[in-house]
A and B are shown apart, each in its own frame.
Chain A
Amino acid sequence: MHPVRPYQICTRCIMDTSDPLIEFNSAGICNHCRGYEHQKQTMVWDEETRETRLQALVGAIRNSGKKHEFDCLIGVSGGVDSTYVAYQVKKLGLRPLAVHMDNGWNSELAVSNIKKTLDTLEIPLDTEVLDWEEFKDLQLAFLKASTPDSEIPTDHAITAVLMQRARQHGIKYVIMGSNVSSEAIMPSSWSNGIRDWKYIKSVHARFGTVPLRSFPRFTLLQFIFSRTVYGLRWVNILDSIDYDKARAMKVIEDELGWVYYGGKHYESIYTRFFQSYILPRKFGYDKRRAHLSTLVMSGTITREGALKAMEEPICEEGLLRQDKQYVIKKLGLTEAEFEELMARAPRTIADYPAYENTLLLRVLRACYRLPRTLKAALSKASPGGAA
């Protein structure tokens, strides 16, 4: 456990000491603001070269799929980012295959948003349905493990399914909805291990009861293999365009009939409940703080606006009660069992076997980041020189 420290909030964004690892400089500005700027500099394409680079990228993607039915893969959840990716790739003239992963927690809005989007844009869909008895067991295992990473199994499985479908259809590009302008800030202590099969496996080995036979997975080696030997590319397209979330929402509402569901990732009932009930009550933080901080940094809202938004209830009380009942019932728990899980002392990934805790991974990660770090350092040394 991290030692309790006096409350402090960043003077620039609204991140605070609910991230136990946050650091502030002498001006009271936090490491996340600096991290945001670093990401913006290294990952978001600048305005002058954007168009040329985008055309080159689109050309490469088209070229890679010449002999196939599809030239890229997109994941769809019914949420803003993935819906806007679908809209963009069609606008860029690409031939995408959409993949949806059903983990048993879809809301009606999620499925109807997916249907409207894909029907309007004429994008074919493929769905992977997770075996509910297995997945339920895995979700329960993470609740029992008492780490804040209960959403990791879903994210891991999505990545695995995308890798699998890409190979099946000979696709070399996966177009992702991740983006700096609305997602750059997320404390590492708040969520860990998306690509860490060793972690997921070890948590399940310790707390699970049903064997994971069909759960989509990949090892670190398989991931490296898919990038190096197979040549799979993961493209964050929203960083290559001028992405403004509010504007994007307006576009998909008007043109696709998409409907908003009230909070980041709230298109999944479990995510909605996990983020608005379990995380704040058990782990003491509110993910909206990171989302809003990112929007402050990207200039989408003011710091005052973000602080005001934090005063709003995280989820409507009636809906939260309804979700709680549904989650408890669907996971096959009793009220008392659920409360016992809530009362367990919080733990972290460090308490379980994981790639994350091995020296090998740290070395590999440093090597992987080296070119980007060098490039950033160079462009800082001679502005304009490395563009």
Chain B
Amino acid sequence: MVGTRVIPCLLLCGTRLMKTVKFKDARYLGDPRNAVRIFNDKEVDELVLLDILATREGKAPVEELIREIVSEAFMPVAYGGGITTLAQAKRIVQLGVEKVILCSAAIRDLELVRQCSADLGAQSVVGCIDVNRNMLGKAEVWTHGGTVNTKQDPVEVAKRLEDSGVGEIIVNAIHRDGLMKGYDTALIKSISSAVTVPVVACGGAGSIEDFRSAVDAGGASAVAAGSLFVYQGKFKAVLINFPTQSELESVLQTR
């Protein structure tokens, strides 16, 4: 068994499965139910679902779709997008979701994180930080699907999320999203060395070798990827795939 969790990160726009580049130019990938079913048969450890439009459009999570997906999935599913209240978070856990992911709401409202953590347990609450580097290379936290710049420092935000009780933190690099040229390992390192909770690297994976650098150089506990698991070859043809255990073992430590 590979010790590092390798997590497909699937983006939803309502009920449509999409993939972005730098959080923009969303391309349609098909029906999320079928994609999840295929990942299921590929026996992936864990799945992240993020509705990237919900917060931007002020919409609540699409419960019907979440229920259908979770009822089809054998692996733990983490869901994020549009969650703004404890009641919503609880409702989503009741649908069978293992972990709720708090993005924009967590950064605005640490009290929500505290409430969710107290009620659902820290292991069920994930903080997600979308980070973009400005022209000078300074890392800044963005919210609302990468449309609002909070100008906050990601390390400070991560520390506050940890103090408020999140069980892990996903670090999503907007400037690397969909480029398949590798993770921002310096960014991951800055956060993973400042907090004790597990950090999930996301944004930029282009090959399974990138997983190793996220872990070795970035100190990530888990790696997430989008394009790598949904595209094939130079035309970026849509084809769900996932590395075999032996391929993963060749780049990641086994336990």
- Residues of A bordering B, CB below 8 Å: 100, 102, 104-108, 111-112, 114-115, 118, 124-127, 129-133, 326, 329-330
Q: Please state if A104 and B240 are interface contacts (CB–CB under 8 Å).
A: no
Which residues 25-59 of B sit at the A interface, judged by CB distance below 8 A?
A: 28-31, 33-34, 37-38, 40-42
Nearest A residue to B42 via CB reads A108
CA distance A131 to B237 in the complex (A): 15
Q: Please state if B34 and A118 are interface contacts (CB–CB under 8 Å).
A: no
Asked if B239 CB lies within 8 Å of chain A CBs, one says yes
User: Given the interface contacts A102-B30, A107-B41, A129-B29, does A124 sit within 8 Å of B241 by beta carbon?
Assistant: no
Which residues 1-35 of B sit at the A interface, judged by CB distance below 8 A?
A: 15-16, 28-31, 33-34
Q: Please state if B30 and A132 are interface contacts (CB–CB under 8 Å).
A: yes
Asked if B119 CB lies within 8 Å of chain A CBs, one says no
Q: Please state if A106 and B235 are interface contacts (CB–CB under 8 Å).
A: no
Which residues in B have their C-beta under 8 angstroms from that of A329?
A: 68
Q: Please state if A330 and B33 are interface contacts (CB–CB under 8 Å).
A: yes
Asked if B148 CB lies within 8 Å of chain A CBs, one says no
Q: Please state if A105 and B34 are interface contacts (CB–CB under 8 Å).
A: yes
Q: Please state if A118 and B42 are interface contacts (CB–CB under 8 Å).
A: no
A190 to chain B, nearest CB (A): 27
Q: Please state if A129 and B34 are interface contacts (CB–CB under 8 Å).
A: no
| New A-B contacts (13) at CB < 8 Å, excluding given A106-B38, A112-B241, A115-B239 | A105-B34, A107-B38, A108-B240, A111-B38, A118-B232, A124-B233, A126-B237, A127-B235, A127-B237, A127-B238, A127-B239, A132-B30, A326-B37
Asked if B234 CB lies within 8 Å of chain A CBs, one says yes
B83 to chain A, nearest CB (A): 25
Which residues in A have their C-beta under 8 angstroms from that of B241?
A: 111-112, 115
CA distance A131 to B232 in the complex (A): 19
Nearest A residue to B30 via CB reads A129
User: Given the interface contacts A115-B241, A132-B30, does A108 sit within 8 Å of B235 by beta carbon?
Assistant: no
User: Given the interface contacts A104-B31, A124-B233, A129-B30, does A114 sit within 8 Å of B239 by beta carbon?
Assistant: yes
User: Given the interface contacts A132-B31, A330-B33, does A108 sit within 8 Å of B233 by beta carbon?
Assistant: no
Q: What are the 6 tightest A-B residue pairs by CB atom distance, in nearest-first order?
A: A108-B41, A132-B31, A127-B237, A125-B237, A127-B238, A104-B31
Which residues in B have their C-beta under 8 angstroms from that of A133?
A: 15
Q: Digitize B212-255: 1 where CB-to-A-CB distance is under 8 Å, 0 elsewhere.
A: 00000000000000000000111101111100000000000000
Interface residue from B38, B232, B237 paired with A108 (Cβ < 8 Å) = B38
CA distance A125 to B234 in the complex (A): 8
Q: Please state if B239 and A100 are interface contacts (CB–CB under 8 Å).
A: yes
Which residues in A have their C-beta under 8 angstroms from that of B40?
A: 108
CA distance A101 to B36 in the complex (A): 18
Nearest B residue to A330 via CB reads B33
Which residues in B have their C-beta under 8 angstroms from that of A326?
A: 37, 72
A101 to chain B, nearest CB (A): 10
Interface residue from B33, B235, B238 paired with A129 (Cβ < 8 Å) = B238
Nearest A residue to B64 via CB reads A332
B66 to chain A, nearest CB (A): 14
Which residues in A have their C-beta under 8 angstroms from that of B15?
A: 133
A109 to chain B, nearest CB (A): 8
Which residues in A have their C-beta under 8 angstroms from that of B38?
A: 106-108, 111
Sample (5) of A-B pairs whose CB atoms are under 8 Å apart: A100-B237, A112-B241, A124-B233, A127-B238, A131-B28
Nearest A residue to B41 via CB reads A108
Which residues in A have their C-beta under 8 angstroms from that of B68?
A: 329
A104 to chain B, nearest CB (A): 4
B204 to chain A, nearest CB (A): 22
A213 to chain B, nearest CB (A): 12
CA distance A14 to B239 in the complex (A): 39
Q: Please state if A104 and B41 are interface contacts (CB–CB under 8 Å).
A: no
Interface residue from B30, B72, B237 paired with A104 (Cβ < 8 Å) = B30
Which residues in B have their C-beta under 8 angstroms from that of A107?
A: 38, 41
Nearest A residue to B43 via CB reads A108
CA distance A133 to B28 in the complex (A): 12
Nearest A residue to B34 via CB reads A104
Q: Please state if A102 and B234 are interface contacts (CB–CB under 8 Å).
A: no
B26 to chain A, nearest CB (A): 13
Which residues in B have their C-beta under 8 angstroms from that of A129?
A: 28-30, 238
Which residues in B have their C-beta under 8 angstroms from that of A330?
A: 31, 33-34
Which of A114, A126, A127: most chain B CB closer than 10 A? Answer: A127
Interface residue from A111, A118, A130, A131 paired with B233 (Cβ < 8 Å) = A118
User: Given the interface contacts A115-B232, A118-B232, A131-B28, does A106 sit within 8 Å of B237 by beta carbon?
Assistant: no
Nearest A residue to B40 via CB reads A108
User: Given the interface contacts A106-B38, A107-B41, A108-B38, does A125 sit within 8 Å of B31 by beta carbon?
Assistant: no
CA distance A186 to B238 in the complex (A): 32
